Structure 1
Amino acid sequence: MIEVEGLTKQYGAVRAVDDLTFDVKPGLVTGFLGPNGAGKSTTMRMILGLDKPTAGRATINGKPYRDIKNPLHEVGALLDAKAVHPHRSAANHLKWMAQSNGIAPSRVDEVLGLVGLSDVAGKKAGGFSLGMGQRLGLASALLGDPGVLILDEPVNGLDPEGIYWVRSLVRALAAEGRSVLISSHLLSEMALTADHLVVIGRGKLVANQSTKDFVAANSGSHVIVRSDYLDTLAESLTAEGLDFDRATDDEGRPTLVINDQEVDYVGKLAFSLGVPLNELTVKRASLEEAFMGLTGDSVEYSAGTLPSGAAGAGTIAPQPQAQEDNNVV
């Protein structure tokens, strides 16, 4: 278990982390979210004793990281996958870590197989692609079979298969009773991975609740209705004082979009009017929409718009996500 109490980090006039308090409980995947510059990496570094807090404390299983003997047996961390000697092979990188923490050499082969690097175990880490480096970093974190995992952007550079594998892995590890703290900018992936969310902005705690409750509390739901008698239903919705919009679906058919309501209520209303429905569905906001709605004022840098006619007339053109390259350079 990870316990963070009043954690604060000051860099001159800048307060990177401001009085953070939260727990990472066993048996759950806890997502650690926030805009760039929110203080996520700094917080993780303080938990691991790499940065000294200005105030507050962070403990793992009741002790500061520096007081843990043979820490790889208790805590596995991935903060920077590039922090590997480029001329050392993947196997040798793990072997020296194992030896320094009293871990059996056979465990090196186990974790290399687990992360899919057995075939390149003898290759120098400096020639690894971004995705392969991430896999080696995950192998390092898993080396001591720890009960606590701290992972900063572990899916960065992985292809879809790799992302799915990481998701399945961390959820399986949490199901075994381990504490997992994981940060990622891929919010759609975090929605599938995290049971609980700790959200920060400008170093301060913004939310600390289950993923389901976070989305429900910070976004609304919309009921979509399609019928041959929309005008009758619209008149009743207006009389009830309900907020709705007229729209069309993907096939150009007219619909009503009723805001902040549930299908049960709308269905009963339509039944009472004798209005047959061709469609009655609910659309709930995504984690991404809820996150942006809550943290929009906490971003360090805001993108501007492009001149009219450029890259979609006022929108920033999406950039391709880095994909894993399975070739060794």
Structure 2
Amino acid sequence: MIHAVGLTKQYKNVTAVDDLTFDVKPGVVTGFLGPNGAGKSTTMRMIVGLDNPTSGTVTIGGENYRDLKRPLEKVGALLDAKSVHPNRSAAAHLRWIAQSNGLPTSRVDEVLGLVGLSDVAGKKAGGFSLGMGQRLGLAGALLGDPEVLILDEPVNGLDPEGIRWVRGLMQALAAEGRTVLVSSHLLSEMAQTAENLLVIGRGRLIADTRVRDFIRDHSATTVLVRTPYVEEFSGALDAEGIAHERQKDEEGRDQIAVPDATSDDIGALAYSTGVLLTELTEKSASLEDAFFEMTQGSVQYRAAGAGADAGAKQEGR
């Protein structure tokens, strides 16, 4: 388990991470979300001892990362897939890591096969595509068969098959009882991958919850109804004091949108009033909808456009 208490990182006049307290528990994939500049990468660097906290503590299994006797067997991290010597082959890169950490070199072939790089094991990493570089970084993180995985944007540059593979890998490792912390800007993918969420903004903790609870608590649900008897059913909704809106669907057909309702309640009303429904759909908001609703006040950089100041800065990491 990763345990952080009051974790803070100050750079001169900028507070990158501000009093974060959280636990990342084993057995589930925990998504680490936040707008650009929120402090995600800094937090991950502090977990593995690459940055020193200004104050607060963070431990892995009750120990500081720097005190771990065999760190790669405890923690596997992918924080920067580009940190590979370009003239070193994939296999040589992994053998160097294995030998310097007292790991069996036989593990190199195993992880190359696991991430799908066996056929290019002898090729120089400098010629790898972004997706291949990500796979090599994952191989390095898995080299010690670690109890804890910390992955920063692991699906960046991967094709759909690769993204699906990484999703399955993380879920399988968590199912084995490992601790998995992963950050990503692909919110639709995170909704399919993670069970728990840590959400931060401007360095502060915004939410520490399950994915489904985050979506439920920070977004709305709308019931969409189609019926040949729009007037009659609209009148039934009015009689019950249920707010609704008549609109057109994508095909130009009449429908009724009922916000903050459930399909059970609206279906029961239609049944009790004898109104035939040809469609009854409960449309729940996505993780993306909930994320933007929750973090809109914590975005550091905005592009000019709808709802943004024309003079805003370009988005940065």
TM-score, normalized by length of structure 1? 0.92
Shift of 1:250: 2.5
1:299 corresponds to = 299
Q: How does 1:73-92 map to 2 (within 5 A)?
A: 73-92=73-92
The 2-side partners of 1:240 and 1:19 are apart by: 47
1:199 corresponds to = 199
Q: How does 1:209-224 map to 2 (within 5 A)?
A: 209-224=209-224
The 2-side partners of 1:240 and 1:203 are apart by: 45
Q: Secondary structure at the match of 2:59?
A: strand
Q: Over aligned residues, Cα RMSD in angstroms?
A: 1.1
Q: Deviations over 1:178-220 (max 9, x none)?
A: 0000000000000000000000000000000000000000001
Letter of the 2:73 partner, please give it. Answer: H
Letter of the 1:239 partner, please give it. Answer: A
1:318 corresponds to = none
Shift of 1:48: 0.5
Q: Secondary structure at the match of 1:205?
A: strand
1:310 corresponds to = none
Letter of the 1:55 partner, please give it. Answer: S
The 2-side partners of 1:61 and 1:285 are apart by: 36
Q: Secondary structure at the match of 2:296?
A: helix
The 1-side partners of 2:205 and 2:233 are apart by: 43
Q: How does 1:107-186 map to 2 (within 5 A)?
A: 107-186=107-186
The 1-side partners of 2:299 and 2:227 are apart by: 42
Shift of 1:100: 1.6
Shift of 1:251: 2.1
2:239 corresponds to = 239
Letter of the 1:174 partner, please give it. Answer: A
Q: Gaps spanning 5+ residues in structure 2: where? A: 311-317
The 1-side partners of 2:152 and 2:4 are apart by: 17
The 1-side partners of 2:298 and 2:274 are apart by: 48
Letter of the 2:208 partner, please give it. Answer: N
1:287 corresponds to = 287
Shift of 1:249: 2.0
The 2-side partners of 1:245 and 1:165 are apart by: 42
The 1-side partners of 2:116 and 2:265 are apart by: 51
- Report the more deviating stretch, 264-273 or 37-46: 264-273
- Report the more deviating stretch, 224-233 or 145-154: 224-233
Letter of the 2:173 partner, please give it. Answer: L
The 2-side partners of 1:16 and 1:251 are apart by: 48
1:99 corresponds to = 99
Letter of the 1:95 partner, please give it. Answer: R
Letter of the 1:26 partner, please give it. Answer: P
Letter of the 1:232 partner, please give it. Answer: E
Q: Deviations over 1:266-289 (max 9, x none)?
A: 011111111111111100000000
Q: Deviations over 1:225-251 (max 9, x none)?
A: 110111111112123222211122232
Letter of the 1:213 partner, please give it. Answer: D
Shift of 1:305: 2.2
Letter of the 1:66 partner, please give it. Answer: R
1:11 corresponds to = 11
The 1-side partners of 2:9 and 2:207 are apart by: 19
2:48 corresponds to = 48
Moved segments of 4+, more than 4 Å: none
1:23 corresponds to = 23
- Number of aligned pairs? 307
The 1-side partners of 2:189 and 2:273 are apart by: 42
The 1-side partners of 2:240 and 2:142 are apart by: 57
The 2-side partners of 1:179 and 1:231 are apart by: 54
The 1-side partners of 2:56 and 2:152 are apart by: 22
1:311 corresponds to = none
2:37 corresponds to = 37
